[in-house]
Structure 1
Amino acid sequence: MSPASERNAGDEGPGAGAGQVDAALAARARLERLLAAPTPFRADTGEADPAVTAVLESTDRPRHEYLDAVWRAVTASRVIVPVIAHAPPGAHAVRLGASDAVPSMPRARGREVRPDDAARDATAPALSLPDGHVGLPVFTSAAAMAAWRSDVRPVPVEPVRAARVACAATDQLWVLDPGTHDLRLPRPAVLALAEGESWVPSWRNGPVQAEVAAQLGEVPGVTGVAFAPGEEAELRVFVRIASGGGMPAVAAALEACQHIMVDPAWGDFIDTVELCPLPA
């Protein structure tokens, strides 16, 4: 340790450690109040809703139908959010106080969540996803949560509250039952729930498809647009491009279509998209 570091450490004084302990104890007390607050789930046993379990096990469905059915079942039940009183240094954390119930939700695309002061309030650990986004872990049962981490406590909440927490403090994403199902639920679905709206997947959302078709139809060389559920993505967009102008014209049209579809504004309505060019 350098002399300057020694001086800085010494400036904290003998009361610094006691202050940290007091902060940790206060955080635990706030957590206890949170868990003891009136809730429609006071008698919740932590078991999974049989209807949700049945849908999660129906993995023989096409991917788009599976996600749609899982979302409808989960939002008709309750979810469990894991809570810790003190987040480890450097860990992602989500404040889980009363401020999560805000009337208008922020659009915080790409926001990285880090705790400012993890001892100030009860927090829910957030997940860092492989694509760089941060999501809120939500569980269908206390057993699924315990299989993921043993150092957290289950708090059953209404799905809309969990959606508001995710929208306020993560990249507006849920990961359902990490460690077992590891199911990433679509961002537009979480956003719609937080705002009190119904989620209509883009593969069956007529107004969204009409707007996409209108914008792509303005690209020179595009002669038709069609839609289908994606195999890996939520939505597959077929774009028919005239080949009469040669490969340079086709490449320019395809580049323009890609530029339109990467507009972040689509993120509120389309989770992921596959763009499939077709020759005219």
Structure 2
Amino acid sequence: MSRELPGHIRALLDAAGGPADSAGVPWAGRDLAGSVPATAEHAGDDGLADARVAAALDALRAGRAGEAAVVDALRDARIFVPLIASVAGDANDPVPVSDKEADLSLVTIAAPDGRTALPVFTSVDALRAWHPDARPIPTWAPRAALSAAAEDAQLMVLDPGGAVSFVVRRPALWALAQQKPWTPSYADPAVAAAARGVTVSEPAVLQVDCAAGRGVVSADRNGARIAGGGPGPELRIGLTLRSGLDRHELDAVVRRIQERLAADPVFADGVDSIEMRIVAAPA
């Protein structure tokens, strides 16, 4: 379920490089990263992972916490974005490359579904293990989320290739950009109510259930299952239908429901991608 960048996120982009956050509070001098001195330039940064983010990832890996805890920890965390130097100028220019001016470019990667993702890292070591030639730039995670939006990226991947890699999906990314709390769609009562609401005019639908989709699950570097951090689909909608529907009737019901979900504002803001499971009621 692909969505256009909403107006309130576009407005935030205008101030993404400014001296204050989305609430107008200056970034400079804020002690947001525990032991890391927080100045506008992150002077004296030790390059280590933010303690809250590391603890949230450990808890997710151990099954003690969910995805929302990781995103919540990121709201006040310093992370690192990778910049890659690219040589500017004419390739046929005889001036030596070392004398040329290099441009630093923000790196994006392709997600499994083809969407653009911004890679970010908890520590300098994690970034250099991923790309030794990338320059680590410290920044607050909400700023990185705005940078992702500016690059038309709908995902942000934390520590790709690391021991634990966590995908911040589009609704969480937008919430992070606004420094607002985020609830996963599969745990959001408003999303469940919206799913039930779009089916009330369908007499063939007997029950609607919402649960975490298969795409929420990820794996650590050793292949161990983690109940969160995957790229999606994140929401599974189960439809129990009355028995006796032929293929044409079934397809028509599902198509109407999908169209209504796509037009529903709760889904537009709160759901990244869905899978549907059809169950026929006993005869």
> What range is the shorter-chain TM-score in?
0.5 to 0.7
* Equivalent of 1:185 in 168, 174, 182: 168
* Alpha-carbon distance, 1:231 to partner: 3.4
SS at match of 1:54: helix
Give the whole-Å Cα distance in 1 for the aligned partners of 2:73 and 2:248: 48
Q: Normalising by the residue count of structure 2, what TM-score does the alignment of the two structures yield? A: 0.65
SS at match of 1:167: helix
CA contact (8 A) 1:41 1:156 kept: yes
CA deviations 1:90-140 (Å, max 9, x no partner) are xxxxxxxxxxxxxxxxxxxxxxxxxxxxx7964211112232111111100
CA deviations 1:54-94 (Å, max 9, x no partner) are 332332328xx5322222222232111112343799xxxxx
Alignment pair present for 1:225 and 2:227: no
Aligned to 1:79: 79
Name stretches of at least 5 consecutive residues in structure 1 with no aligned partner.
Answer: 1-37, 90-118
SS at match of 2:239: strand
Greater C-alpha Rg:
1
SS at match of 1:39: coil
Give the whole-Å Cα distance in 2 for the aligned partners of 1:157 and 1:215: 41
Aligned to 1:195: 178
Alignment pair present for 1:126 and 2:125: no
Give the whole-Å Cα distance in 1 for the aligned partners of 2:262 and 2:276: 10
* Alpha-carbon distance, 1:263 to partner: 5.8
Give the whole-Å Cα distance in 2 for the aligned partners of 1:121 and 1:73: 32
Letter in 1 for 2:169: P
Alignment pair present for 1:57 and 2:58: yes
Aligned to 1:140: 122
Give the whole-Å Cα distance in 2 for the aligned partners of 1:129 and 1:267: 20
Is the alpha carbon distance of 1:126 and 1:248 closer, same or farther for their aligned partners in structure 2, counting shifts above 3 Å? closer
* Alpha-carbon distance, 1:206 to partner: 1.9
Letter in 2 for 1:49: D
Is the alpha carbon distance of 1:187 and 1:139 closer, same or farther for their aligned partners in structure 2, counting shifts above 3 Å? same
SS at match of 1:226: strand
Letter in 2 for 1:72: D
Give the whole-Å Cα distance in 1 for the aligned partners of 2:68 and 2:83: 27
Is the alpha carbon distance of 1:264 and 1:43 closer, same or farther for their aligned partners in structure 2, counting shifts above 3 Å? farther
* Alpha-carbon distance, 1:179 to partner: 1.9
Give the whole-Å Cα distance in 1 for the aligned partners of 2:244 and 2:108: 51
Give the whole-Å Cα distance in 1 for the aligned partners of 2:150 and 2:117: 11
Letter in 2 for 1:46: G
Letter in 1 for 2:146: R
SS at match of 2:176: helix
Is the alpha carbon distance of 1:46 and 1:275 closer, same or farther for their aligned partners in structure 2, counting shifts above 3 Å? same
Is the alpha carbon distance of 1:57 and 1:195 closer, same or farther for their aligned partners in structure 2, counting shifts above 3 Å? closer
Letter in 2 for 1:239: L
CA deviations 1:187-223 (Å, max 9, x no partner) are 1100122234322211222222222221133335123
SS at match of 2:62: coil
Aligned to 1:163: 145
CA contact (8 A) 2:198 2:261 kept: no
Aligned to 1:275: 276
Letter in 1 for 2:57: L
CA contact (8 A) 1:82 1:155 kept: yes
Higher helix share: 1
CA contact (8 A) 1:82 1:137 kept: yes
SS at match of 1:216: coil
Give the whole-Å Cα distance in 1 for the aligned partners of 2:51 and 2:245: 58
CA contact (8 A) 2:67 2:184 kept: no
Farther-moved stretch of structure 1 (227-236 vs 152-161):
227-236
Matches within 5 A, 1:31-50: 39=40, 41-50=42-51
State the identity %: 33
* Alpha-carbon distance, 1:48 to partner: 0.8
